[in-house]
Amino acid sequence: MPGRGRVYDERDVRVRPSRRGTRPRTKERPAHDDAVVGMVTAVDRGRWTTLVPADAAGPERVVIAMRARELGRSPVVVGDEVGMVGDTSGVEGSLARIVRIQERRTLLRRTADDTDPFERAIVANADQLVVVSALANPEPRPRLIDRCLVAAYDAGLDPLLVLTKSDLASGEDFLAQYAPLDVPHVTTAVLEPGSEGLEALQQRLAGRMSVLVGHSGVGKSTLVNALVPDAGRAIGHVNDVTGRGRHTSTSAVGLRLPPLDGSDDAQDAPSSGWIIDTPGIRSFGLAHVEPDRIIGHFPELSQGAEEGCPRGCTHDEPDCGLDEWVEQGHAGPNGEQRLDSFRRLLRARTPQTGD
């Protein structure tokens, strides 16, 4: 028996429009071939300050940017070279979007402590790590310096040791323990224009991207203000009771060094270089560093490790083949001192009281 209901066809179908539009979903993202590349010089509360070199759109300019969602959780740090789209004019009130992080040449990392498996990126694309330490007030902390050296070797940075306040104490005995490591050093006293220590440091920094690290109170901000007179970094004092300084730098910032020839235009002086000032540190976690990354900076020992050490050797145990390698003279006349220094750096990865 035929039904009595209405017969429907395609004309009766009603499709509710999607609030997201009618375009099909895709995982493809824009290539952003027209992105403008700039260097990150500061990070502050979700806004990245970048310096864009002169291009067809205009002269060198400072561009404020936010990160695009497509970057996910990838950290963007001072020293990063980033691609930006949107308003890259640099005029007041403009805001660009960071859509790409260029390939990094180096990356300085640390962990919160030696049990933390998560790495924190500090600075990108630096080529020199300047470890700043005072010879007195506060007293130097050799194990913290050792940890910074390990981080430099791991990141592929050249270390430079800068000792401040040499007018309060001599640095001869302190430097003797770093002689086997061949770490270059500069000693400074009163930082005044034309002073011997300041000029030597300027020569070491010229043409390089250098990141400054050191614990609070060592005179790092004073050093930055002497190198870059317009920096205006806040200066603190050392507590007479605890012997510690206060954190005056709260975030990393990149500063361009003035030209060595004294000219006013740093933009046209390729040898001027950059320094990146970082907040004072109380500890430097090295949970991410493997021993094999450190021994690579001791070429006279690395061959002995490959030929004489069993797999899994920590290089700081009684059966380590490096002892025999050094005794046989393969590491040169200073082999014993170099091995002791290498093992000291290995032990710096293990936290101790006072680090």
Pick the range with the lowest mean pLDDT from 29-33, 225-229, 335-339, 341-345.
29-33
Burial status of residue 216 (CB atoms within 10 A of its CB: 0-12, 13-18, 19 or more): buried
CA distance 141 to 198: 23
What's the pLDDT score for residue 245?
41
Q: Which two tokens stand for residue 41?
A: 């010089």
| Position 306, amino acid | E
What's the pLDDT score for residue 244?
45
CA distance 128 to 134: 19
What's the pLDDT score for residue 264?
61
Task: Determine the average pLDDT of the residues in 179-188.
Answer: 91
**H or E element in which residue 320 lies:** none
Cβ atoms of 147 and 284 within 8 Å: the answer is yes
Q: Which two tokens stand for residue 275?
A: 């320094």
Task: Determine the average pLDDT of the residues in 194-210.
Answer: 88
With a cut of 90, say whether residue 234 has pLDDT above it: no
User: Which of residues 270 and 121 earns the better pLDDT score?
Assistant: 121
What's the pLDDT score for residue 233?
57
Strands 274-277 and 209-213: parallel
User: Which of residues 293 and 237 earns the better pLDDT score?
Assistant: 293
Q: Which long-range contacts link 177-184 to residues 24+ away (Cβ below 8 Å)? A: 177/142, 178/145, 178/341, 179/337, 180/334, 180/337, 180/338, 180/340, 180/341, 181/149, 181/338, 181/341, 183/149, 183/159, 184/159, 184/160
What's the pLDDT score for residue 4?
66
Q: Which residues are registered as beta bridge partners of 120?
A: 110
What's the pLDDT score for residue 43?
95
Residue pLDDT, tens place only, 238-293: 444 334 444 445 689 999 999 876 656 656 555 589 999 998 787 778 877 887 78
What's the pLDDT score for residue 267?
60
Mean pLDDT of the chain: 84
First to last CA, the chain: 93
With a cut of 70, say whether residue 305 has pLDDT above it: yes
The tally of CA atoms less than 13 A away on the side-chain side of residue 177 is 12
Q: Which two tokens stand for residue 128?
A: 């020199």
Q: Please list, residue by residue across 224-250, b when 16 or more beta carbons sit within 10 angstroms of its beta carbon and e when fewer do.
A: bbbbbeeeebeebebeeeeeebeebbe
With a cut of 70, say whether residue 92 has pLDDT above it: yes
Cβ atoms of 245 and 133 within 8 Å: the answer is no
Q: What's the pLDDT band for 339 if we cut at 50, 70, 90?
A: very high
In sequence order, what DSSP letters do the residues of 14-72 get, joined into one string? -PPPPTT-SPPP-------TTPEEEEEEEEETTEEEEEEPPBTTBSSEEEEEEE-GGGT
- What angle (nearest 5°) sits at the alpha carbon of residue 273, between those of residues 256 and 42? 40
What's the pLDDT score for residue 35?
94
What's the pLDDT score for residue 183?
92
Residues of the chain with pLDDT > 70, as a percent, come to 83
Q: Is 348 helix (H, G, I), strand (E, B) or coil?
A: coil
Q: What's the pLDDT band for 13 if we cut at 50, 70, 90?
A: confident
Residue pLDDT, tens place only, 53-80: 998 888 999 999 999 998 988 999 999 9
Residue 314 CA, distance from chain mean position? 27
Pick the range with the lowest mean pLDDT from 34-43, 196-205, 278-287, 307-316.
278-287
Distances (CA, A) of 313 to 153, 307, 308, 320, 327: 20, 12, 10, 7, 18
Q: What's the pLDDT band for 177 if we cut at 50, 70, 90?
A: confident
* pTM of the shown model: 0.81
CA distance 167 to 170: 8
Task: Determine the average pLDDT of the residues in 83-109.
Answer: 95
| Position 240, amino acid | D
What's the pLDDT score for residue 235?
53
